[in-house]
Structures are given as structure tokens and as C-alpha cells.
Amino acid sequence: MIIELFGPPGVGKTTFAKCLAARLRQNGHAVELVMSVRPAEQATTVASGENGSRSREKTAAFERLRRPFVEVVRLLRRQSFAPQETRSANDIVRMLTPTSRLWRFRLTQYLARLSNSWSAASSCAGVMIFDQAFIQAVSSLMLLGENEDEALVSRLLDRVPKADMLIRLDAPHEVLEDRLEARQNAQGLLERLFELDLKRNLALLGIVDRLHALIEKRGETVIRVNSLDQPALEEGAARIGELLAARLHAEPLRVAS
């Protein structure tokens, strides 16, 4: 079973993914996480102090450039990697092409890697949790392609794989804005070159709302979880655990497409 999370930036998708995985494991489920860890977060433990801050900034910026190339090379070396995954990623990006060549490249490479991870997850017997995946990518394409045409986005949703369970993370607008400002303030100038700025991150809030409405309009189910604080995350994880247990008991486990 594949569980996919989505939501605006700063809403706590990665935090909730870890919380949910811990809860499901307590309930006896075999769980694996597929995480989209930010290089800037990986670099935060490099050093401390002024010199450490500069070192962290350079490390994070270098990782932004290096990571996509390294991961693509790794994929090409795997026997399980199929060239059609790259073609599929290109097709998706062409449907809603980002105006920026840099973001076009980054999203194409990201979708190729995601397709490979999703294919592997589809054949697993346990629960696979993606802290973000295709729905989140669609919201980014809507923003960066500067196009929210409902018919086009609906065709794009038809094109991407479907999760067994889709979860939307929510938090009040002012909380998200505070979190995004804190995130931006913690970044160095080099890191910011590879991130969306505060204005565009905030624009994603509305895009996620509209995308969510379109998904439900298409008759698909979206489960909402409040991510205001840790107690809310724990409550949401407990509720998802109950829903998952009921679903697995009521019907055979299907393989995600």
C-alpha cells in the first residue's frame, strides 16, 4: 500500500511522515519511508558558529547542484531502472512546462527518480509512505508553469500514478507564513538560489487548495490532517492508523498503479 502526503510548504509533511510511520509500526505494520530530504537540512549538522554557518551554506548549495546528477547516475546503473521513467517524467513536465529552465531540469530529474521509487514501492507488500510525491509535483508545476487551467491539470492528474491513500496536511496561514519566514532566514544566499522565495512559497498555499478541490471534484478521496503542533500530528497519525486497519480488514491489498 502506498500512502502519499501533500500540502503547502512548511506544513510538516516530513515530520508527519515520520510520526505516521512510528504509529503504524506500533500497530504491527511493516512500514518504509520514502523521504524527500532537503539538502539544506542534511547540511545543518556540518558545523556551528559563523564559520560553520558559511560551511553549511556552501555544503547545501553544492549539494543542490550535485544531488540530481548523482542520483540519476545511480538510477542508470540499476538494472531495475527503465528508460521509460525518464520519458514519462519528460512527458509530465511538457504538459505544464516551468518557465524557468533550471526548474524544468530539476523537476524532470525529480520525477524520473520519483517514478523509479514509486515503481519499487508498488511491488512491496508493506506500507510505503511518501512524504511528498506526484500530487506535490503537480502543484509545483502549476506554480512554475504559471498555468492553473482546470482541464489541463485534470489531464495531468490522469497521467500521474495514484496512491492507495492520499493525505493533505493543513495548518493556519499565519503559522505557515511564520515557518516559511524562519526557514528562509536560516538559509544562506547560495541556498536561496535553489529554493522558491517566500512570495512563491506563499502562492503555493492557494494552489494546493485549488488542486485539492479539483481532486475531490474528480471523485477522489483526500484525507485531511491538522499539522498545527505535535499533539495534532499524533492525533492525525492515530486516525490514519484506524482508517488503514479498517481498509486492510475490509478489502484485499491492491497494488498501486
For residue 257, being part of any structural domain is answered with: no
pLDDT score recorded for residue 41:
43
What is the arithmetic mean of pLDDT over 88-106?
Answer: 92
Assign 222 a pLDDT band (cuts: 50, 70, 90).
Answer: very high
Nearest residue to 146 via CA among 99, 102, 104, 103: 99
Cα–Cα distance measured from residue 227 to residue 5, given in angstroms and rounded to the nearest whole number:
12
Assign 87 a pLDDT band (cuts: 50, 70, 90).
Answer: confident
**What are the pLDDT digits (tens) for 101-151?**
989 998 998 999 999 999 999 999 899 999 999 999 999 999 999 999 999
pLDDT score recorded for residue 183:
87
- State the total domains in the chain: 1
For residue 255, being part of any structural domain is answered with: no
**What are the pLDDT digits (tens) for 191-201?**
777 788 889 99
For residue 256, being part of any structural domain is answered with: no
pLDDT score recorded for residue 80:
47
For residue 198, being part of any structural domain is answered with: yes
Is residue 59 pLDDT above 70, yes or no?
no
Domain containing residue 218: 2-250
What is the arithmetic mean of pLDDT over 148-158?
Answer: 97
pLDDT score recorded for residue 143:
96
Assign 167 a pLDDT band (cuts: 50, 70, 90).
Answer: very high
pTM score, whole prediction: 0.81
Nearest residue to 255 via CA among 183, 175, 163, 189: 163
Helical spans, DSSP H, in the chain: 13-26, 39-42, 49-77, 83-95, 101-122, 134-144, 150-159, 173-186, 189-192, 198-217, 230-250
Window from 52-56, 80-84, 132-136, 230-234 with minimum mean pLDDT? 52-56
Question: Mean pLDDT in the chain?
Answer: 83
Cell of 153: 491539470
What is the arithmetic mean of pLDDT over 213-228?
Answer: 97
For residue 85, being part of any structural domain is answered with: yes
Is residue 37 pLDDT above 90, yes or no?
no
Assign 55 a pLDDT band (cuts: 50, 70, 90).
Answer: low
CATH of the domain at 65: 3.40.50.300
3-state secondary structure 11-80: CCHHHHHHHHHHHHHHCCCCEEEECCCCHHHHHHHCCCHHHHHHHHHHHHHHHHHHHHHHHHHHHHHCCC
